[in-house]
Chain A
Amino acid sequence: MRSMLKAPIAALATTVAMAGGAFAAGHSLSGDLKIFSDMSNPAPRAVMEGMVERFGEMHPDLNIELTVIEREAYKTQIRNFLSANPPDVANWYAANRMKPYVEAGLFEDISDMWTGEIGENLASTKGAMTIDGKQWGVPYTYYQWGVYYRKDLYEQYGLSEPATWEEEKANCQTLLDNGVKCYTIGTKFLWTAGGWFDYLNMRTNGYDFHSALLGGEIPWTDDRVKQTFANWRELIDMGAYIDNHQTYSWQEALPFMANGEAAAYLMGNFAVAPLRQAGLDDSKLDFYQFPVINPAVELAEDAPTDTFHIPSGASNKEAAKAFLEFVVSAENQTLINNGSNLGQLPVNAKSGVDDDKFLKEGFAMLSGNSPGGVAQFFDRDAPAEMAAVGMEGLQEFMVLPDNLDDILQRLEAARQRIY
């Protein structure tokens, strides 16, 4: 029923694309540039609009049309517009999250853009943008994960940033003895539990193992996986996490840290802004890298990368590529990632990192102290279906750790079906 309509639309799109290309050849950029973006939160939205404005000034003949779609809605809508109504540029995520679209031929191969200077400057994220040896988009920002903690509470109880698992647990015990939970977390929407698993598994078994596990190459019932859960269980049994975390979203879990009922939060750097808003200034809020569990494995980090792509049905690919080049340019990267804009890390090695405590620490950590590798995130490294089943199992484990064997068997069954 769909294919009948699709063919003429596709044909039309190609005609338009060829006409546009012919017209644009030899001129500066002109025609229309249609951008769909998921940068719908206030700060990212301003960044996106700013980029469009500056790019528009560089190419006055180009008519740029920006559509911003609510971030969560975008995740389901992208399927529709990529095939039915493709823009010239679209936001998305790196690694496995872009795989379905790459495999369905909906993203344009832009490997040619990655040769030369751009490729060198973006080397750190090249792996995340590569599938089948080709590059399918460009990153525009990424951010570190790690433990954000209440410095004042740690000082009050005479604790210091833990470097090892033993110190970590000792800290936690002290906090619990004083009626403070070690960690806040809200697992209603599941993915936060994925962050914990990423770190525990990378610290227990290393990046390569973690990557292979999420890539479906290792059974979930493997003893090494069980070891990860055993480590996790130590925290759960201590009562390290806030109660009822399964009913909260990640934002609803913030107040526990803000009002001192919990001392730390394993989160992405985007948690800094709301925590600061809740009254935690830099004298109360600090950051440490997730501690070492197994000294035999190298440290590795989660650093999700957000991206831009050119849909293969785009009609103005020339302008789209120019826009992508503009986005990753050192100058633009410095600007959009600074503290008053996205407040994240630039992807271009030639860019400057903003003079923000957390960004500097994050940048130093990712560039200097993450020898094992950089993972995207549980739900970006594993295929969507596995991620959904997996994160549900992780939440169940956090609430009912005794169900572990049952959970792992379910995940294993899912793995065998999905990959």
Chain B
Amino acid sequence: MSNAAIPVTEYSTPQRGWYKRNEIAITPWLFLAPGVFFFLVYVIFPIFQSFNLSLYRWDGLGQAEFIGMANYQELVSDRAFEVSLWNNLKWLILYLLAIPAGLFIALFLNQTVTGIRLYKSLFFFPFVISQIVVGLVFTWFYDPTFGLLNVMLGWVGLGPINVLGDPSIVTYGIIAAGLWPQTAYCMILYLTGLNAVDPEQIEAARLDGARGWRMLWYVIVPQLKPATFIAFVVTIIGALRSFDLISIMTNGGPFGTSRVLSFYMFEKALSEYGFRMGYGAAIAVVLFLIMLIFIAYFLWSMFQEERGR
């Protein structure tokens, strides 16, 4: 490597420096370095640390004690864990309603009447608000003494119901609150998607006599596939991340019936009566593994698309 001794400042000479010669190979790594470093330290390593921690008993104060799979064994017989898992499943399934609901609103708003832009913005509005505020808003909406829901139910001679106090419906009540901003999100995805639908295909289908639902299902929806994919991804992630709403609206109650894994994990690890870090980590690992199924699917889809290019 005799060239290595040549100062880099002589780049103008035909004999270029080592860096110059390898510039294209090295540059991406220099550009990647800070981002990758941050991401490894704060995201990738912690995942493995959590896996490791889930094998320990640790109260966050003293020494951690290795206990093997004991945390996981305890999970199996932990009723609160079971309830959380079921609730997660409810979230996963019902949250997906945001996709058809979003499509429906998008179709409703995909017109060119005056002021429609403002309408679209206002319909999208709930998504911009923090989930904390959404949670508060819905807590009052459901309030058994003065909530608007019971006022409205009263008009049709129903109620009153205490949505957030009834163990059999509390989770659905929170999911409904979550669907509000999530539907807005899906709506905006579909509005963009509808803009790009090929008008010629629609005309052609119209000539073939397709209209209404058939048109929607066979002509429009297939063309909206990219939007649907993204809506699916963000909705699944949103469902498994549901924490803010539960924390604000019910704090997991009544008697733990509205917990999901993400909330239960926080409760066990960091709340007032918690500080079972290892047990919390074990719950997080289970949640992560559920997520991993979806992550694998997303990556696989993206990989297919990359290859298709």
- Chain B: which residue is nearest A386 at the CB level? B273
A1-B49, A75-B272, A79-B275 known; A410+B79 contact, CB < 8 A: yes
Bound complex: CA A378 to CA B182 (Å): 41
Contact (Cβ within 8 A) A246 B253:
yes
Number of A residues with CB within 8 Å of any CB on chain B: 33
- A83, A244, A392: the one contacting B144 at CB < 8 Å is A244
B251 within 8 A of A: yes
Residues of A within 8 A of B267 (CB): 388
- Chain A: which residue is nearest B142 at the CB level? A247
Contact (Cβ within 8 A) B144 A243:
yes
Bound complex: CA A103 to CA B63 (Å): 12
Residues of B within 8 A of A106 (CB): 61
**A82-103 vs B: 1/0 string, CB under 8 Å?**
1100000000000000001101
Residues of A within 8 A of B162 (CB): 243-244, 246-247
B165 within 8 A of A: yes
- A243, A244, A384, A392: the one contacting B255 at CB < 8 Å is A392
Q: Which of A29-37, A136-144, A393-401 contacts B (4 or more CB under 8 A)?
A: A393-401
**A211-230 vs B: 1/0 string, CB under 8 Å?**
00000000000000000000
A189 within 8 A of B: yes
Contact residues, B155-181 vs A (CB, 8 A): 162, 164-165, 167
Residues of A within 8 A of B271 (CB): 76
Residues of A within 8 A of B274 (CB): 384, 388
Contact residues, B13-67 vs A (CB, 8 A): 49, 59-62
Contact residues, B242-288 vs A (CB, 8 A): 250-251, 253-256, 267, 270-276
Contact (Cβ within 8 A) A384 B62:
no
Residues of A within 8 A of B49 (CB): 1
Contact (Cβ within 8 A) A247 B61:
no
Contact (Cβ within 8 A) A385 B254:
no
A100-B61, A244-B162, A410-B79 known; A189+B251 contact, CB < 8 A: yes
Contact (Cβ within 8 A) B251 A79:
no
- B145, B165, B276: the one contacting A246 at CB < 8 Å is B165
- A83, A244, A388: the one contacting B273 at CB < 8 Å is A388
Bound complex: CA A387 to CA B256 (Å): 14
A188 within 8 A of B: yes
Bound complex: CA A247 to CA B255 (Å): 11
Contact (Cβ within 8 A) B61 A104:
yes
- Chain A: which residue is nearest B276 at the CB level? A385
**B71-100 vs A: 1/0 string, CB under 8 Å?**
000100001000000000000000000000
Bound complex: CA A76 to CA B277 (Å): 13
- Chain A: which residue is nearest B62 at the CB level? A104
- A100, A392, A400: the one contacting B59 at CB < 8 Å is A100
Bound complex: CA A384 to CA B59 (Å): 12
Task: Return B176 CB to nearest CB of chain A, in Å.
Answer: 16
Residues of A within 8 A of B144 (CB): 243-244, 247
A354 within 8 A of B: no
A379 within 8 A of B: yes
Task: Return A120 CB to nearest CB of chain B, in Å.
Answer: 34
- A79, A101, A244: the one contacting B165 at CB < 8 Å is A244
- Chain B: which residue is nearest A247 at the CB level? B165
Residues of A within 8 A of B251 (CB): 188-189
- A101, A188, A244: the one contacting B253 at CB < 8 Å is A188
Contact (Cβ within 8 A) B254 A396:
yes
Contact (Cβ within 8 A) A393 B165:
no
A243-B144, A384-B272, A384-B275 known; A79+B254 contact, CB < 8 A: no
Bound complex: CA A1 to CA B49 (Å): 9
Task: Return B93 CB to nearest CB of chain A, in Å.
Answer: 26
Task: Return A3 CB to nearest CB of chain B, in Å.
Answer: 8
A404 within 8 A of B: no
A190-B253, A243-B144, A244-B165 known; A79+B61 contact, CB < 8 A: yes
Bound complex: CA A385 to CA B255 (Å): 15
Residues of B within 8 A of A385 (CB): 273, 276
Residues of B within 8 A of A187 (CB): 254
- Chain B: which residue is nearest A385 at the CB level? B273
Bound complex: CA A190 to CA B273 (Å): 12
- Chain B: which residue is nearest A390 at the CB level? B273
Residues of B within 8 A of A189 (CB): 251
- Chain A: which residue is nearest B267 at the CB level? A388
The residue in A82, A101, A393, A399 that gathers the most chain B C-beta atoms within 10 A of its C-beta is A399
Bound complex: CA A75 to CA B145 (Å): 31
Residues of A within 8 A of B254 (CB): 187-188, 246-247, 395-396, 399
Q: Which 4 A-B pairs have the closest CB atoms?
A: A388-B273, A396-B255, A246-B254, A104-B61
Between A and B, 10 residue pairs with Cβ closer than 8 Å are: A101-B61, A104-B61, A104-B62, A187-B254, A189-B251, A244-B144, A385-B273, A395-B253, A395-B255, A399-B167
Given contacts A189-B251, A388-B274, 7 further A-B contacts (CB under 8 A): A72-B272, A190-B253, A244-B165, A247-B164, A387-B273, A392-B255, A410-B79
